[in-house]
Amino acid sequence: MKKTQIALAILASTLMASAAHAQSSVTLFGLIDTGITYVSNQSGKSNVKMDDGVNGPNLWGMRGVEDLGGGTKAIFELVNQFQVNNGSFMPNASLFSRTALVGLTNERAGKITLGNQYDFMTDALYFAGNDPAEISGHFYAFRAGPFKKLALPSNATGAFDWDRMAGERISNSVKYVTPVFNGFSAGAMYGFGNVAGSIGAGNSTSFALNYAANSFGANAAYTNIKYYTAGSPQVSVRNWGVGAHYKFGGWFTNALFTTVHNSANGASVYEGSVGAQYRITPALAAGASYMYMKGNSVVDNNHAHQAAAILDYSLSKRTDVYVLGVYQRASSGALAQLNGMNSADGTSSGQTQAVARVGLHTRF
């Protein structure tokens, strides 16, 4: 009898452990992109270089879900971004500096997460499918332009990814997203400045309003980041934007409008862009976009036109090969600069700059 009871106890324990395991999961995932890029003008010279993280960033990460019962789940995400061509971390980055968060989610109550995570310029506008850059020139087609006088704090060029849609994050943040009601949802986010004696110093806020129904979606987002340095005036950088997308037949179309304002010098820039992608065959897709950017008097009223296109062929569900091109023409007297041209000699010596690229992109 005792042996039977012991055997039954072991069996019950094993079944309970198996059930708990079935209700929880940890997923490993990643993206890798690399290729050869031709740049028409870097400080007056052309360049052929190996570049990575263009058709999506190079990422390796883990996502975990634990079912807590009653429709509530605990979640976490740890993501590293790296440079595949030399195997190193991104500049000034660490193991999980892309994202690191933990939280709770419930279909009726929504989702709350804490950590280092995307604000709603990325989360609501880009991830929803509203960015024409995503279906054309990818990283090279994000917002940059002849706007170095924006002088954004902690920015590689002063205007790199000035609308924060290439995956910018807010550290020390709490983020809440509501459940979906009749296609509508909303989000709010607060980043703590962690400055003793002043709860408003160095803090950040971000908000979103979302709508999705069948093949159509529309989103709006706002983010305000405060940069604090002891003994210096606080600098506030404000972004807001709206976007929409629509899918019909083999077509996917989207449109985007975004802005930036730097309180330190009064510089402002806005952009409007449209894009379309057509699925030629199940394996072959073509995409194109057009963007117009315009700055205020602080950035010399500079403006720029930008066009991008891509032809993408799927070798499998995970792996693509592609060719893409991006062209920018700045206003008279201004120096063109495509996004991602961040080196000291990355800026064009004239009004135009173009890139052409062939690459390989895989997911796991």
CA angle (317, 362, 340) in 5-degree steps: 135
Q: For residue 63, give the nearest of 14, 98, 88 by alpha carbon.
A: 98
pLDDT, residue 19, reads 42
The rounded distance, in Å, linking the Cα atoms of 228 and 234 is 5
pLDDT, residue 59, reads 97
- Record the tokens describing residue 90, joined without a space: 């991104």
| DSSP H helices in the chain | 2-22, 120
pLDDT, residue 9, reads 46
- For the chain, the residue count is 364
pLDDT along the chain (364 residues), means of 10: 43 41 84 98 96 96 96 97 93 91 97 98 97 97 97 94 96 98 98 89 96 97 94 94 97 98 98 98 98 98 98 97 98 97 91 98 96
The rounded distance, in Å, linking the Cα atoms of 288 and 233 is 42
SS3 category, 187: strand
CB 80 within 8 A of CB 96: yes
Give 23-363's CATH code, choosing from 1.10.1140.10, 1.10.1040.10, 2.40.160.10, 2.10.25.10: 2.40.160.10
Q: Return the number of other C-beta atoms located less than 10 Å from residue 14's C-beta.
A: 10
Strand partners for 78: 62, 100
* β pairing state of 184-191 and 204-213: antiparallel
Residue 223: C-alpha distances to residues 132, 189, 200, 206, 353 (Å):
20, 9, 15, 4, 30
The rounded distance, in Å, linking the Cα atoms of 268 and 262 is 7
- Record the tokens describing residue 322, joined without a space: 């592609």
pLDDT, residue 10, reads 41
What are the boundaries of each domain within the chain? 23-363
In tens, the pLDDT along 169-214 reads 999 999 999 999 999 999 999 999 998 888 889 999 999 999 999 9
